[in-house]
Homo-oligomer: A and B are copies of this chain.
Amino acid sequence: MKRALDINQFLHGGDYNPEQWWDEPDVINQDFALFKQTKINTVTVGIFSWAKLEPQEGNYDFSWLDEIFDRVEEMNGHVILATPSGARPAWLAQKYPEVLRTDNRGNKRGFGGRHNHCLTSPIYRKKVYEINTKLAEHFGQRKSLVLWHISNEYSGECYCDLCKDAFRKWLKNKYGDLATLNHAWWNTFWSHTYNDWSQVNPPSPLSEMGNKGMNLDWKRFITDQTISFIDNETAPLKKITPNIPVTTNMMAGNPLMDPFAGFDYQKVARHLDFISWDSYPAWGNDSQTTEELGRNVGLIHDFFRSLKHQNFLVMENPPSRVNWHNFDRAKRPGMHELASLQDVAHGSQGVLYFQLRASRGSSEMFHGAVIEHRHPEKTRAFKDVTKVGKDLEKISPIVATNYAKAKVAIVFSYDSYWALQDAESYSVNKNIWQTIQKHYRYFYEHDIPVDFVSSEDDFSQYDLLIDPMHFLMSKSYLEKIDNYVKNGGKIVGTYISGVVDENDLAYMNEWPKELQEIYGLEPLETDVLYPGQSNLINFEGKEYPVHDYCETLINCTGKVLATYSTDFYQDTPAIVEHSYGAGKGYYLACRTDYSFLEKFYEKIASELVPEIPITKFNDRVSIQIRENKSEKYWFVQNFSDKEEKIELSCELVNLLEDVKDKGIVSLKPFESKVYTLSR
C-alpha cells in the first residue's frame, strides 16, 4: 500500500479552526500552550476555511495556515489537512448558483449551512479541483502533513437539472436501451413504461416514490456520483503528494450506531486510502446500560475497520458532551478514557476530537471542546484529554499493530439494506441493523474478533459467515457463498433472505438453487407478527420466544434444530442445520431473542473463542486484541459502573500503570487495562 498512514505514535488532537480567532493572537498562543499540556500532537485544519483561504475569487491567502503549520512543526506535531469543499464562500454561491443543491420537490437552496453542494456541477468540481491543487502545491511538502481529509461528512442528494441529466446518462450506460430499463424497473406495472429517456426522473414525492428499481438505482447513482466527486477532489492530491494518504470522515447514526446509508461506504472506501469516522455515542443515557451501548460502539468500530480491513482513525470524538443529542449529557468520570481506549482497542490509530477549541458563536458553539470558552484548563474534559494523551504515550508501541485477524464475518450489503428498507412489505420497522447487533453480541461477549464484509469481498479467510436478512442477493453473490460453503465454510442465514435479485425483482418459481443447496430447504411463507404477538421455538428441550417474523419452510432435508411451539405451524422446523460439501448452512427461519442466539452460537461457534491469558467473569468486561508478528496486546475494559474482576493466567505487563499484574485483578468502574506478555 503506497499511501499508508505513516506514524510512529498515536495521533491525539482533532479539529482546529484558528481562522475564527485570527484577529486574536493571544488565543492562538494559548491554544498551543494548552496543546502541549494535554499532549495533543495533531491538528485537523482547513475543514471549513475556504472563505479564509480564498476570500475573493482567485485571491488565495495561505499565510495564516502557514503559520499554523510552523507552530505544529515546532512542537513536532502532525497536521491533517482538509480540503474545504464541505462549505463554500458566499461569493462562490452567489456568483455560481448551480453549485447549490435542489431538493426532491424542486426547491433550490440558498447559501447557508454546509454539505449542500450539487454533486454534479462542473463549476463546483472545477473550483474544488483548483483549491485542492493550490493546497497540495503549497502544503504538500510540509513534513508535518500526515493525511488528507477531503471535505467533511459527505452526504445528501441533489435533484437539479444537472443531476437529473447525470442520472439519465448513468442509466443509459448501465442499461443501454429503455426496454432493458423498463424490464429491470418492472415498468409495465401501473403503465410506467418509458418510451423516451427524457421521461426518466429521479424519485420525488411529486412524481414517483414507489418504483423499487428506480429507488435502488438512484442510491447507486448517488454513490457513484459521490465517488466521482471524490475522485475529482483526490486527483490533484494524488498527483502532487503521492505519499500522503487520503481519507474522509464517515458517519454513524444516533442513537442506533448504524452506518450512514445515504450512499455505499463499501464502494466509496475503495476510492480512499484510509478510513476515518466520527463517533458520537450517547454515553450515559437513561435507556441503555453503558455495556450495551459499548457493544454497539464496538460493532460500528469493527464495521469501519472492515471497510478496508486495516487500521482506521476515529476522526471526531467529543472530548465531553455534544450539542445535538436530545440531552447533551457530560461524560461521567472515566467514560472519556474508556471510550478513547476502546477506539484504539478496535483499531483506531489515535484519538481525535471535535473540537480543540470551542467556537465562540454559531451553531456548534456549545459542542464540547478540549478548550472551552471559560477556564479551559480547569474543565474535566481538559483533564480527561490529558489523561488520554498520557495513556496513548504509554501504549505507543501498539501503533505498529493491527487488530486481531477475524475468523468470523458478518455480511452487510448496502444494496440489500436499501432494497429491504424500501420494500413495501413485512412491517413498518424491519430493524435490520438491530438484528445485526443481536448476532454480533455473542462474539463481542466472547471476545471473538469480527469482521464485516460486503457481498463483493473475499470470504476465504473466514470460518463462519453470518448473513442475516440478506434480502437482495445477486447471482454472483449466490455463487460465491455456494463455493464458500461447498469448500468448508459455515454460514448462518435467516428469514427474509434471497428474495430478490440485483434489480430488486423477485426470484421466481423457487428459491435460488444455491440457497437450496446450502440450507437444504425453501422458505414458503413469512408470517408477520404484530408487536403484541409472539411464538416460541423449542431448542434442545427449552423454549425460546420469537417475535416479528416466522417463516414456514418446505423441502427441508437438513437436521431440524428447533421447531415452532405454537400456531398453525406448530412442530414445523424453525432452525435447521444442513451439510453441504465440506461446509454447513444454518437457517434461522424466525426472529429469536438473544437468549436463543447465545445458545445457538455456543453450539456452532465456541471453537472460535480466542485463547488468551485473561479470564473475565461476565459480559460487562470487553477484551480486544491488537497484534503484530512479535507481540500481542489485550485491551481489557470494564464497561460497567461497578468494580469488576478478571484473572490472569500468567504474569502480564500492565502498560498503562507500568507494573506487572498477576492472578485476580480488579477494574474500577469504566477502567481499562492494556496488557502484553513482556515489554
Chain A residues with a Cβ under 8 A of chain B: 17, 19-20, 22, 48-52, 55-56, 84, 87-91, 94, 105-114, 184-196, 198-199, 201, 204, 206-213, 284-287, 320-321, 323-324, 326-330, 332-333, 358-367, 373-375, 378-380, 423-428, 503-511, 522, 524-533, 554, 568
Chain B residues, CB < 8 A from A201: 110-112
Chain B residues, CB < 8 A from A532: 286-287
Query: B212 contacts A90, CB within 8 Å?
Result: no
Query: B89 contacts A52, CB within 8 Å?
Result: no
Chain B residue at minimum C-beta to C-beta distance from A54: B191
Decide yes or no: A375 and B524 within 8 Å by CB, A110-B201, A113-B190, A186-B360 being known contacts. yes
Complexed CA–CA distance, A632 and B192 (Å): 48
Decide yes or no: A529 and B327 within 8 Å by CB, A207-B110, A373-B508 being known contacts. yes
Query: B210 contacts A90, CB within 8 Å?
Result: no
Query: A361 contacts B213, CB within 8 Å?
Result: yes
Min CB gap A498→B, angstroms: 10
Query: B364 contacts A528, CB within 8 Å?
Result: no
Min CB gap A15→B, angstroms: 12
Complexed CA–CA distance, A403 and B360 (Å): 44
Chain B residues, CB < 8 A from A507: 373-374
Complexed CA–CA distance, A204 and B108 (Å): 12
Query: A113 contacts B207, CB within 8 Å?
Result: yes
Chain B residues, CB < 8 A from A191: 48-52, 84, 87-90
Task: Out of B87, B324, B361, B366, name the residue touching A185 (CB < 8 Å).
Answer: B361
Query: B321 contacts A207, CB within 8 Å?
Result: no
Min CB gap A569→B, angstroms: 10
Chain B residue at minimum C-beta to C-beta distance from A285: B530
Complexed CA–CA distance, A191 and B50 (Å): 6
Which 8 residue pairs spanning A and B have beta carbons closest together? A112-B208, A186-B361, A110-B207, A210-B363, A366-B425, A286-B532, A112-B207, A286-B530
Question: Taking each of A198, A374, A378, A507, which has the highest tally of chain B beta carbons within 10 Å of its own beta carbon?
Answer: A374
Task: Out of B90, B362, B505, B524, name the residue touching A186 (CB < 8 Å).
Answer: B362
Query: B505 contacts A366, CB within 8 Å?
Result: no
Query: A286 contacts B509, CB within 8 Å?
Result: no
Min CB gap A431→B, angstroms: 13
Chain B residues, CB < 8 A from A109: 206-207
Query: A190 contacts B361, CB within 8 Å?
Result: no
Question: Taking each of A88, A191, A284, A285, which has the highest tally of chain B beta carbons within 10 Å of its own beta carbon?
Answer: A191
Task: Out of B89, B187, B510, name the residue touching A375 (CB < 8 Å).
Answer: B510
Complexed CA–CA distance, A108 and B89 (Å): 29
Query: B51 contacts A366, CB within 8 Å?
Result: no
Min CB gap A162→B, angstroms: 17
Query: A530 contacts B207, CB within 8 Å?
Result: no
Chain B residues, CB < 8 A from A527: 329-330
Complexed CA–CA distance, A20 and B190 (Å): 10
Chain B residue at minimum C-beta to C-beta distance from A24: B508
12 A–B pairs (Cβ distance < 8 Å), ordered by A: A20-B189, A51-B188, A55-B193, A89-B193, A91-B196, A110-B206, A112-B192, A113-B208, A286-B530, A323-B424, A327-B528, A330-B528
Chain B residues, CB < 8 A from A204: 110, 112
Decide yes or no: A190 and B87 within 8 Å by CB, A212-B362, A373-B508 being known contacts. yes
Query: B530 contacts A327, CB within 8 Å?
Result: yes
Min CB gap A460→B, angstroms: 31
Min CB gap A580→B, angstroms: 20
Complexed CA–CA distance, A412 and B215 (Å): 42
Decide yes or no: A94 and B188 within 8 Å by CB, A112-B208, A426-B328, A509-B374 being known contacts. no
Min CB gap A22→B, angstroms: 8
Q: A186-B365, A189-B364 are in contact. List 16 more A-B contacts (CB 8 A).
A: A17-B188, A48-B191, A52-B188, A111-B207, A114-B190, A187-B362, A189-B359, A212-B362, A287-B530, A324-B424, A326-B427, A329-B527, A330-B527, A361-B506, A375-B509, A375-B510
Complexed CA–CA distance, A442 and B359 (Å): 39
Chain B residue at minimum C-beta to C-beta distance from A380: B525
Complexed CA–CA distance, A529 and B330 (Å): 9
Complexed CA–CA distance, A378 and B553 (Å): 11
Min CB gap A385→B, angstroms: 14
Chain B residues, CB < 8 A from A19: 188
Task: Out of B89, B196, B213, name the residue touching A362 (CB < 8 Å).
Answer: B213
Task: Out of B48, B56, B106, name the residue touching A195 (CB < 8 Å).
Answer: B56
Min CB gap A556→B, angstroms: 13
Decide yes or no: A360 and B505 within 8 Å by CB, A110-B206, A191-B51, A427-B328 being known contacts. yes
Query: B195 contacts A55, CB within 8 Å?
Result: yes
Decide yes or no: A522 and B423 within 8 Å by CB, A111-B199, A211-B112 being known contacts. no
Min CB gap A606→B, angstroms: 35
Chain B residues, CB < 8 A from A195: 55-56, 89-91
Query: B361 contacts A286, CB within 8 Å?
Result: no
Query: A199 contacts B90, CB within 8 Å?
Result: yes
Min CB gap A457→B, angstroms: 27
Chain B residues, CB < 8 A from A285: 530
Decide yes or no: A379 and B524 within 8 Å by CB, A424-B366, A529-B327 being known contacts. yes
Query: A327 contacts B427, CB within 8 Å?
Result: yes
Query: A424 contacts B361, CB within 8 Å?
Result: no
Query: A186 contacts B20, CB within 8 Å?
Result: yes
Chain B residues, CB < 8 A from A22: 188
Complexed CA–CA distance, A333 and B568 (Å): 7
Chain B residues, CB < 8 A from A373: 506-509
Decide yes or no: A211 and B286 within 8 Å by CB, A522-B375, A527-B330 being known contacts. no
Task: Out of B105, B326, B329, name the residue touching A107 (CB < 8 Å).
Answer: B105
Min CB gap A635→B, angstroms: 24
Min CB gap A47→B, angstroms: 9
Question: Taking each of A51, A187, A198, which has the highest tally of chain B beta carbons within 10 Å of its own beta carbon?
Answer: A51
Task: Out of B196, B206, B526, name the residue touching A94 (CB < 8 Å).
Answer: B196
Complexed CA–CA distance, A186 and B19 (Å): 11
Min CB gap A507→B, angstroms: 7
Min CB gap A81→B, angstroms: 16
